[in-house]
Chain A
Amino acid sequence: MHDATFEELSMPLFDQLYNFAHWLTQDRSEAEDLVQETFAKALRGFSGFQAGTNFRAWIFRILRNTFLTSRTGLKIAGRSEEELDGLASVDPSPEAILIGKADRSMVRQALQELSVPFREILLLCEVEEMAYEEIAQVLAIPIGTVMSRLHRARRALRELLIQKFKGGSHGL
């Protein structure tokens, strides 16, 4: 049986990894550095990758860990779950229904304003369509934490969008 090569496994994920990296770093040049370092690390560690396990979760995790040790990543590292909770303590309002009307640029702006832990979990869940278990592997957290963080991230995003509809916005 033919074991897939690193090239066969990684290159189809290139665009997604770049997109995720750019969302994390918010900068093209930093994103390119991050992706390049991710590929270099993944290539070096590929012999240790267990065939048949989740390659996507594996390489996304490398990218995220690389980001966390980067200059930008270090700024957001160390935030506790409690701190994150404090960032999104607003209860859902009846205006939440307006979110359906939010345009793409408004959602994009809200995503950019979200804290990295909320932004990354939303991207992994909604953009990459990863299951909770896969997200847990990428972020190295329990599934219960995935669920609670995802819930808080959605609330935070919702509040940001509501505030944008109201005409005022601030970063979470």
Chain B
Amino acid sequence: MACELWSGKLDAYVDGELSLMEANELGTHLRGCSSCAAEALERVQTKRSVADAGRYFEPSSEFRKKIATKVHKSSKKSSIRGWQIVAVPAALVLIISLAMSFYVSRERTKRERVYGELADLHVATLASATPVDVISSDKHTVKPWFQGKIPFTFNLPELQSTDFELVGGRLAYMGQSPGAQLIYRLRKHELSVFIFQDRGPEMASWASDPTSMLSFTFETWAKNGLRYFVVGDVSGADVDALSKLLRDAG
């Protein structure tokens, strides 16, 4: 390649911007061409001179400190702001989730305790030699039996054209509060219906859908100031069917 063509690439050569192949070719040319080599040397010297002379102005220590302080403060502020943007909602989420999990866990524990207690009552009743205090399939016999024994009254459903059969009733206590326990039979399975005075919001959040626990199915709801529980070793659909009858009657 002619010197004129190479000289156009000398800037890129000394700036390290040529491809490896081109740089090698030009390097070979420079070793054999004193004119181009002198020009390349001059450019390298100019580069060095400018680099050396160009690093000249230094900021005063006061100015450096002033900018460094501002940048540090701004970075800190923005990082704190950034931290707040992330951390405050994160902390809120954490607090809420902890509170929720504590609440849910507390509610679950309370519900488990109550359901456990009711399951015990149900099992104890079935195991008892005298499972019911009033033996009757007639609601008009059973309901009056509770008068004067508990501080409330309740309605019982008609069971004609259903598979449920009323066995009888007895007094039950839960947390020192007297209530009614009614025994129903469904295809050789016994179910207990517990009726207590409603304690208000304490049990309000409990799911009214059938819930399985301790191998029993539970359903609970509140109506007209009373809290109803249905417990049985039957399916959720069966518990739900009895619950519906009671709801409609109450």
Q: Quick one: CB contact mask for A62-104 with B, threshold 8 Å, 1 for yes? A: 0000000000000000000000000000001000110110101
Which residues of B1-54 have CB atoms within 8 Å of chain A's CB atoms?
11-12, 15-17, 38-39, 41-43, 45-47, 49-54
Contacts known (A36-B67, A132-B17); A122 close to B54, Cβ less than 8 A: yes
- Whether B68 sits at the interface, judged by CB under 8 Å, is yes
- Whether B223 sits at the interface, judged by CB under 8 Å, is no
Q: In the assembly, what is the distance between CA of A147 and CA of B14, in Å? A: 12
Contacts known (A23-B54, A23-B57, A132-B17); A32 close to B71, Cβ less than 8 A: no
Contacts known (A150-B11, A151-B11, A154-B46); A39 close to B56, Cβ less than 8 A: no
Q: In the assembly, what is the distance between CA of A32 and CA of B65, in Å? A: 12
Complex: chain B residue closest to A43, CB-CB? B74
Contact B46 A15 (CB under 8 A): no
Q: Find B46's partner among A36, A39, A158 (CB 8 Å cutoff).
A: A158
Complex: chain B residue closest to A122, CB-CB? B50
Complex: chain A residue closest to B64, CB-CB? A14
Q: In the assembly, what is the distance between CA of A162 and CA of B12, in Å? A: 23
Which residues of B80-137 have CB atoms within 8 Å of chain A's CB atoms?
none
Query: How many interface contacts (CB-CB < 8 Å) are there between A and B?
Result: 109
Chain B: minimal CB distance from A131 (Å) = 7
Contacts known (A132-B15, A132-B17); A19 close to B71, Cβ less than 8 A: no
Contact A99 B46 (CB under 8 A): yes
Contact B53 A14 (CB under 8 A): no
Contact B52 A125 (CB under 8 A): no
Q: In the assembly, what is the distance between CA of A18 and CA of B90, in Å? A: 41
Chain A: minimal CB distance from B244 (Å) = 59
Residues from chain B with a CB closer than 8 A to the CB of A129 are 51
Q: Quick one: CB contact mask for B172-183 with A, threshold 8 Å, 1 for yes? A: 000000000000
- Whether B201 sits at the interface, judged by CB under 8 Å, is no
Chain A: minimal CB distance from B155 (Å) = 67
Chain A: minimal CB distance from B81 (Å) = 11
Contact A126 B70 (CB under 8 A): no
Chain A: minimal CB distance from B249 (Å) = 66
- Whether A11 sits at the interface, judged by CB under 8 Å, is yes
Contacts known (A18-B59, A111-B54); A6 close to B74, Cβ less than 8 A: yes
- Whether A22 sits at the interface, judged by CB under 8 Å, is yes
Contact B49 A11 (CB under 8 A): no
Contact A127 B72 (CB under 8 A): no
- Whether B58 sits at the interface, judged by CB under 8 Å, is yes
Contact A157 B50 (CB under 8 A): yes
Contacts known (A14-B64, A32-B59, A102-B49); A43 close to B71, Cβ less than 8 A: yes
Q: Quick one: CB contact mask for A146-172 with B, threshold 8 Å, 1 for yes? A: 010011001001100000000000000
Chain B: minimal CB distance from A146 (Å) = 10
- Whether A5 sits at the interface, judged by CB under 8 Å, is yes
Chain A: minimal CB distance from B11 (Å) = 5
Q: In the assembly, what is the distance between CA of A10 and CA of B53, in Å? A: 24
Q: Find B51's partner among A32, A43, A100, A126 (CB 8 Å cutoff).
A: A126
15 inter-chain pairs at a CB distance below 8 angstroms, sorted by A residue, are A7-B71, A11-B68, A15-B59, A19-B54, A23-B56, A35-B67, A96-B42, A97-B38, A99-B42, A100-B41, A125-B47, A127-B51, A131-B16, A154-B46, A157-B46
Q: Which 9 A-B pairs have the closest CB atoms?
A: A22-B57, A127-B54, A107-B53, A100-B45, A126-B50, A18-B59, A7-B75, A108-B53, A126-B51
Known: A35-B63, A131-B16. 20 other contacts (CB 8 A): A5-B75, A7-B72, A11-B71, A14-B68, A18-B63, A19-B54, A19-B58, A22-B56, A28-B57, A28-B60, A97-B42, A104-B49, A107-B50, A107-B53, A126-B47, A131-B17, A132-B17, A150-B11, A154-B46, A157-B50
